[in-house]
Chains A and B, each alone.
Chain A
Amino acid sequence: MSMLVLEDVHTHYGKIEALHGVSVEVNKGEIVSLIGANGAGKTTLLMTVCGSPQASSGRVILEGRDITRDPTSSIMRSGIAIVPEGRRVFSGLTVEENLHMGGFFNTKAEIRKSQEHVYELFPRLKEREHQRAGTMSGGEQQMLAIGRALMSKPSMIILDEPSLGLAPLVIKQIFEIIGQLREEGITVFLVEQNAHQALNLADRGYVLETGRIRLQDTGKNLLANPDVQNAYLGG
């Protein structure tokens, strides 16, 4: 049963085509990694799923429903959550308020429940509950960004470069949490430049090159693939 399907998606920025017919499938309960070099179109692909910019042709299907032409705000309220690149926490708001923003469309009781859950996943956030998000370290902000995305109780979470600019130890921690999300039945779509760890964790992976899917296989097979090793794993 597939969670998210992209069928021959083309995306344009003005006249420039950034995605030349991309097809991706993410099944329920899977971790799927998308790897690729700078400028390959990874973030564009995610943004297309979110409807900003919208695909110029092709279809994006979420849980069997065509969302290609839906506005961003309604897509983001239909069981999908994104952790944007560069974390983007609300730096002037406290940790708790950031989490509450994540559950903006939920009832207070639901917010309370998801908040407790997030604190279980990230005990560090509980300690910093009343601290302003902008004053925290990069790793803590990344945890907050993931926690905020989880507040809306999504069935699928999209992470855009969660390891960006973090220390190796913190990256390890973040990837452990991502693995834990799968245990809870949340589908994860992971976009990474950190190919080794991303593929290691993933059930399946895609390699994106200049707007086209070059390879697709299980995570283990991609890791063993000599082309991938040469291009993304430093030989």
Chain B
Amino acid sequence: MPAHNLKHALFCAVVTLIIAFPILGFNLVASGTDIVLEGAKTQTMISVVLAAIVVFLFQLFRDHIMALLGKAPALNPLANREPMEQSKRLKLESTFLTLIIIGALIWPFFVSRGSVDLATLVLIYIMLALGLNVVVGLAGLLDLGYVAFYAVGAYTFALLSQYLGLSFWMALPIGALLAALFGLVLGFPVLRLRGDYLAIVTLGFGEIIRILLNNMTNLTGGPNGIGGIPDPTLFGMEFGRRVKEEGNTSFHETFGIAYSSEHKIIFLYLIALVLAVITALVIRRLMRMPVGRAWEALREDEIAARSLGLSRTGVKLSAFTIGAFFAGFAGTVFASKQGFISPESFVFLESAIILAIVVLGGMGSQIGVILAAIAVTVLPELAREFSEYRMLIFGAAMVLMMVWRPQGLMPMRRIHIELKSQE
């Protein structure tokens, strides 16, 4: 009998009871105009006690169970596989990616409107996470205020369309460039800082932007937000039932098909898809260029990188600016998708979620980050039937993930750059 675990196991069981009982053991029930506190059903009570017993037993025999689990990888057929050769792996990766992109292009025409809408959101998060991946994963700069650049992109489009009547396509580059400019301007003073200090300052910057948007009521509408943001057009064709702007035609009339509100959703999805693919490709390219290697060198060892003549501020600023640029991209698409934005959309939780995506996916790994973005956005939706417990499940999944696979879903595999000998 593992007696030394007994005390610990008892403690864990009691903690389980203490946590579970108030949450599950009571119900607030509306009776007439009052709200009454009622005890839960006996069934729930029994489950709580059972759960405590399970925790107790698990903790008591933890050593045995963990030893058994330790043997589990032997059952995994992939565990002892030799790593694939680089050229082969790259080829496989690119075929795989091409297939996924083709699939993603056809897919929206066969599924429900809700799924396409959710997929658009996933793509926006993919763009954001890929951008933050440059800053956190590659350059190793902990940025907790990334959402600020997302907000800059979104508000740029909203304001430009409201005051100057600019279209989505005009606002897209402007939004991205303005976000990049914000990244550059913020970068200058703060990039001397390292680690925790940088994190705090970026956190502050994120809040400043949000609070500014909230309080500049005469420009941004404050907490009321900005509505009526136009949808993107396809070569001057609008997707609404009626044409809103003079000179434009409507999509369904031009092609002589029946009007369907799904067209607009699918079109937005496709725009987000194309932009996400562009984001991924551009960043992939940058990773292999000298600037990408400089980011990594600086992350690995700042003193060594500086001793080789790399300029610390230059390298960090480039990462910060490029990350912000893609956040601006994502922000513009987001504004167009929602049609309405307010400072509420750009709270700190968003920064935290994007950061969680990067960490869960595996710092620096693009495919990992994409998978994590899908998981983090789709899982809470799938878990809707668990209603009030879904955030609890989400949180638990994240904790488990970090305990068992701290390197992320797909840790970054570096691409080795070799010089071909010219003999």
Hey, which bits of chain A sit against chain B, CB under 8 A? 50, 52, 71-77, 81-82, 84, 88-94, 96-97, 100-102, 104-105, 108, 111-112, 115, 130, 148-149, 152
A94 touches B416 (CB 8 A): yes
Beyond A52-B306, A90-B296, A152-B308, 11 extra complex contacts between A and B, CB < 8 Å: A50-B307, A73-B311, A73-B312, A88-B304, A90-B300, A100-B419, A101-B293, A104-B290, A104-B310, A112-B422, A115-B419
Q: For residue B314, which residues in chain A have a CB less than 8 angstroms away from its CB? A: 73
Q: Report how far A76 CA is from B301 CA in the complex, Å.
A: 16
Q: Report how far A115 CA is from B419 CA in the complex, Å.
A: 10
Q: Given the interface contacts A90-B301, A92-B414, does A104 sit within 8 Å of B309 by beta carbon? A: yes
- Which residue on chain B has the smallest CB distance to residue A88? B304
Q: Report how far A93 CA is from B294 CA in the complex, Å.
A: 12
Q: Given the interface contacts A73-B314, A104-B290, does A112 sit within 8 Å of B308 by beta carbon? A: no
- Which residue on chain B has the smallest CB distance to residue A132? B414
Q: For residue B308, which residues in chain A have a CB less than 8 angstroms away from its CB? A: 76, 101-102, 104, 148, 152
Q: For residue B422, which residues in chain A have a CB less than 8 angstroms away from its CB? A: 112
A111 touches B304 (CB 8 A): no
Q: Report how far A93 CA is from B421 CA in the complex, Å.
A: 20
A77 touches B304 (CB 8 A): no
8 Å CB contact of A84 from B296, B303, B421: B303
- Which residue on chain B has the smallest CB distance to residue A74? B309
| Interface size bracket, B side | 20 to 34
Contact with A along B408-423 (1 / 0, CB 8 A): 0000001011110110
Question: In angstroms, how far is the closest chain A Cβ from the Cβ of B296?
Answer: 7
B303 touches A76 (CB 8 A): no
- Which residue on chain A has the smallest CB distance to residue B412? A92
Question: In angstroms, how far is the closest chain B Cβ from the Cβ of A235?
Answer: 36
Q: For residue A72, which residues in chain B have a CB less than 8 angstroms away from its CB? A: 306, 311-312
Q: For residue A88, which residues in chain B have a CB less than 8 angstroms away from its CB? A: 301, 303-304, 307
Q: Does B373 have its Cβ within 8 Å of any Cβ on chain A?
A: no
Q: Report how far A82 CA is from B306 CA in the complex, Å.
A: 10
Contact with A along B277-300 (1 / 0, CB 8 A): 000000000000010011011001
